[in-house]
């Protein structure tokens, strides 16, 4: 065997440079019974990186609810979650991050994040039908942030638009904690007939192993390791770790893969994402209890003289590893030849439970596949954690020390200039939301984003949600709120929440305060998911999201992005957020608390970032969501919109803008006016209805123990709060629509 490591001292040094600890290096020596060569060490380094092994998170991830009546596969069993949606159909869905690549090269980083998540869906045999995203950037006044925003948005738009998958929704937030380390989380949703999915397996000794799709290049090498390390001032030097995408090639690969599945030639298939060939080959082999012999000379490459570790670790995009039934090679090759894609046999399945890789006649890798992977021999850690020092400071906040506005109209207009509340149309209009003509959001804007399933009366409703300021203030409660808001958005649309995928973005897990955030987020998320019967089907953990500038380390806010899907059983029940006609009654479901905790109003108007999380009760939230669904199913509701960022006033403005209507609002004198208008206390929904439905709505809500209050009525465009005229909706529309373009078009 070719050994590129020369002595034991050098071994440890190289192992550390590759991201392994000294103890991990010793474990590898024990596993192999010898010193690994450089290529083997490289394989272990990427497979045991946080990005692939979840070594610092898997202990707690296993505590999340992982099974449910609608799930067709257990969490982590396949590339994506799979949920039964009736009529012989299933929904495959997943969310993942591409944070560090996007921070270094925003266009390709975001584009390849989109491409990778769609491959996870069609690798299972599902056709991607919708995409969503969750984006976090720093201070938008900084030119660097503007550069990142423009690059990320263009990368997402170009890739998704060319691939022909509509981007139907998402969220974008701005906070200084993301100034260097932005977050780019991409979600894909697909549909497939039950029983026609493909698993990531390598069954059948003697079956040929194919690499299909694009040729392999030097882009993305050690991308998994790059994703499992802190960003520093020198991270731009790691640009080769960023992959380069080609959406047109992916479109060919999508169609070829789905067609190849229909031939019956495929035993198993897996996307080559993080860690490339070594990841897909080891995971497929470990899952089946088999092994593989692979000849790296057979791998089509884009560059001459690539080293074996470069071929193995490359994360070049638009590639798959396929195990084919022996004897059906011609059928498989014919499909990929038709689509003008590479389709080369590079090895075969063995019964050795080992990965044996040869290059130019020499064995360069000989390792047990199970020892490389999550759930096998990959290390599992439980890091030290302690309550964050800032936590007690937040709870010392006193609202009485915050002065109420002297001019509420001026305050309301200024609040709408917050980049977090302003229209994100500058972003969303760069995405094709209507391709394939199934998106329902344009005709009826709603809290959840609906995509109809052709040939049925059903629609999938999806949401991505996380208020990271809430999670920062209290990781346990904040995570509950993130799950609850996603479910609330689906319920307000008329859908029943089904399942969750998550993208857990945190700082360095070796920081005890960061790990405290992580542990408490998992606890809160688990409780909320159990309450809504939305099992966690999988997702992604992204640690090391922080920036080191000189001696200062700045972690991002803990950001557990929740991707949730629900089912709208009857398209007639789809409910929008927009007011329908003047004279309708406006009713609030749920109770307003006398607080402004962690509100955008407190942060943006008063520049106070240190305050507790808003009040929250999980049982109240369950009652609220059951009530709104019953109200919708009883055909009593004209519109439904949950109260979230910006509070009640922003909720009413958003509902008014859809049809250029307005509202008259009466505040509650027992609650501070700024808390009533701008506070973000949870578990509240605003509905509008005709006057003759009020009694019926009250009866339904009383049955669910949900408080109701008539707070106003819909107008023809004028806005009035108590006795004060707030101009009309057009003034607010202009502010809302022009904020981001005024910055990003400069």
Catalytic residues: 51, 98
CA dist., res. 202 & res. 65, Å (int): 28
Question: Beta strand pairing status for 354-359 and 291-295?
Answer: parallel
Tokens of 700: 């339904």
Closest CA to 294 of 240, 227, 363: 363
DSSP string covering 55-117: TTTHHHHTTS----TTBSS-TTSSSSEEEEEETTEEEEEEEEE-HHHHHHSHHHHHHHHHHHH
Q: State whether residue 651 is helix, strand or coil.
A: helix
- The single-letter DSSP state of residue 195 is T
Q: State whether residue 486 is helix, strand or coil.
A: helix
Q: Return the residue matching tokens 């789905």.
A: 258
Q: φ, ψ for residue 647 (rounded to 5)?
A: 80, -165
Tokens of 28: 């590898």
Question: How crowded is residue 389: how many other Cβ atoms within 10 Å of its Cβ?
Answer: 8
The torsion region of residue 281 among left (phi > 0), alpha (psi -120 to 50) and beta comes to alpha
DSSP string covering 541-566: EE---EEEETTEEEEPPPEEEEEEEE
Residues 6+ apart with CB under 8 A from 241: 101, 104, 220, 221, 222, 223, 225, 226
Cβ pair 131, 436 in contact under 8 A: no
Q: Which long-range contacts (CB under 8 A, 24 or more apart) does 384-393 make?
A: 384/512, 384/515, 385/512, 385/513, 385/515, 385/516, 385/518, 385/519, 386/512, 386/513, 386/516, 387/513, 387/516, 388/513, 388/516, 388/517, 389/513, 390/610, 391/474, 393/610
CA dist., res. 687 & res. 636, Å (int): 10
The torsion region of residue 290 among left (phi > 0), alpha (psi -120 to 50) and beta comes to beta
Helix boundaries (H) for 539-681: 600-604, 618-633, 647-657, 673-678
Helix boundaries (H) for 289-328: 308-313
Cβ pair 189, 93 in contact under 8 A: yes
Q: What is the CA radius of gyration of the chain?
A: 26
CA dist., res. 420 & res. 20, Å (int): 39
Residues 6+ apart with CB under 8 A from 318: 115, 119, 213, 214, 245, 246, 249, 250, 253
């Amino acid at each position: 065997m070719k050994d590129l490591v020369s002595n034991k001292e050098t071994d440890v040094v190289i192992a550390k440079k590759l991201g392994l600890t000294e103890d991990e290096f010793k474990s590898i020596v024990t596993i192999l019974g010898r010193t690994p060569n450089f290529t083997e060490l490289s394989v272990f380094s990427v497979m045991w990186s946080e990005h692939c092994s979840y070594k610092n998170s898997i202990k707690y991830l296993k505590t999340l609810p992982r099974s449910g009546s609608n799930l067709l596969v257990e969490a982590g069993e396949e590339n994506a979650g799979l949920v039964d949606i009736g009529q012989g159909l299933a929904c495959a869905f997943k969310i993942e991050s591409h944070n560090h690549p996007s921070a270094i090269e925003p266009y390709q980083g975001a584009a390849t994040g989109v491409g990778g998540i769609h491959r996870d869906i069609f690798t299972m045999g599902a056709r991607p039908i919708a995409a969503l995203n969750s984006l976090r950037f720093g201070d938008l006044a900084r030119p660097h942030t503007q550069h990142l925003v423009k690059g990320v948005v263009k990368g997402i738009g170009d890739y998704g638009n060319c691939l022909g998958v509509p981007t139907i929704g998402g969220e974008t937030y701005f906070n200084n904690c993301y100034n260097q380390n932005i977050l780019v989380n991409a979600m894909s949703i697909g549909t497939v007939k039950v029983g026609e999915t493909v698993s990531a397996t390598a069954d059948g000794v003697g079956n040929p192993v194919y690499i299909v799709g694009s040729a392999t290049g030097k882009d993305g090498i050690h991308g998994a390791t790059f994703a499992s390390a802190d960003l520093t001032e020198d991270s731009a030097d790691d640009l080769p770790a960023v992959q380069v995408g080609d959406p047109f090639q992916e479109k060919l690969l999508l169609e070829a893969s789905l067609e190849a599945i229909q031939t019956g030639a495929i035993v198993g298939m897996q996307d080559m994402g993080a860690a490339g060939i070594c990841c897909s080959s080891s995971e497929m082999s470990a899952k089946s209890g088999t092994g593989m012999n692979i000849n790296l000379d057979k791998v089509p490459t884009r560059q001459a003289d690539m080293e074996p570790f470069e071929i193995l670790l490359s994360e070049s995009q638009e590639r798959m590893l396929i195990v084919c039934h022996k004897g059906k090679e011609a059928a498989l090759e014919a499909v990929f030849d038709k689509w003008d894609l590479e389709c080369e046999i590079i090895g075969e399945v063995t019964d050795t439970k080992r990965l044996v890789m040869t290059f130019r006649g020499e064995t360069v890798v000989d390792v047990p596949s199970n020892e490389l992977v999550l759930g096998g021999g990959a290390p599992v850690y439980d890091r030290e954690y302690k309550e964050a020092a800032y936590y007690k400071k937040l709870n010392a906040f006193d609202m009485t020390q915050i002065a109420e506005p002297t001019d509420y109209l001026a305050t309301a207009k200024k609040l709408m200039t917050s980049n977090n509340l302003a229209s994100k149309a500058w972003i969303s209009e760069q995405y094709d939301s209507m391709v394939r003509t199934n998106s329902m959001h344009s005709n009826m804007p709603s809290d959840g984003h609906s995509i109809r399933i052709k040939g049925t009366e059903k629609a999938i409703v999806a949401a991505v949600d996380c208020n990271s300021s809430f999670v920062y203030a209290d990781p346990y409660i904040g995570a509950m709120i993130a799950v609850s808001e996603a479910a609330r958005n689906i319920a307000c649309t008329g859908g029943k929440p089904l399942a969750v995928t998550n993208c857990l973005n945190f700082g360095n897990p070796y920081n005890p305060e960061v790990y405290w955030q992580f542990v408490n987020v998992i606890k809160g998320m688990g409780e909320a998911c159990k309450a809504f019967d939305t099992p966690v089907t999988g997702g992604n953990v992204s640690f090391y999201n922080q920036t080191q500038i000189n001696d200062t380390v700045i972690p991002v806010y803990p950001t557990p992005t929740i991707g949730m899907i629900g089912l709208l059983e009857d398209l007639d029940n789809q409910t929008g957020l927009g007011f329908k006609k003047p004279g309708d009654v406006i009713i609030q479901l749920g109770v307003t608390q006398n607080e402004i905790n962690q509100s955008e109003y407190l942060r943006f108007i008063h520049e106070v970032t240190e305050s507790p999380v808003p009040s929250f009760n999980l049982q109240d939230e369950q009652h609220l969501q059951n009530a709104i669904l019953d109200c919708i199913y009883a055909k009593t509701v004209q519109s439904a919109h949950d109260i979230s960022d910006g509070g009640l006033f922003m909720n009413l403005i958003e509902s008014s803008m859809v049809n250029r209507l307005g509202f008259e609002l009466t505040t509650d004198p027992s609650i501070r006016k700024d808390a009533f208008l701008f506070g973000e206390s949870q578990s509240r929904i605003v509905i509008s209805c005709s006057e003759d439905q009020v009694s019926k709505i009250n009866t339904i809500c009383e049955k669910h123990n949900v408080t109701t209050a008539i707070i106003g009525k819909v107008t023809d465009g004028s806005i009035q709060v108590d006795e004060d005229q707030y101009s009309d909706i057009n003034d607010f529309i202009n502010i809302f629509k022009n904020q981001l373009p005024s910055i990003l078009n400069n």
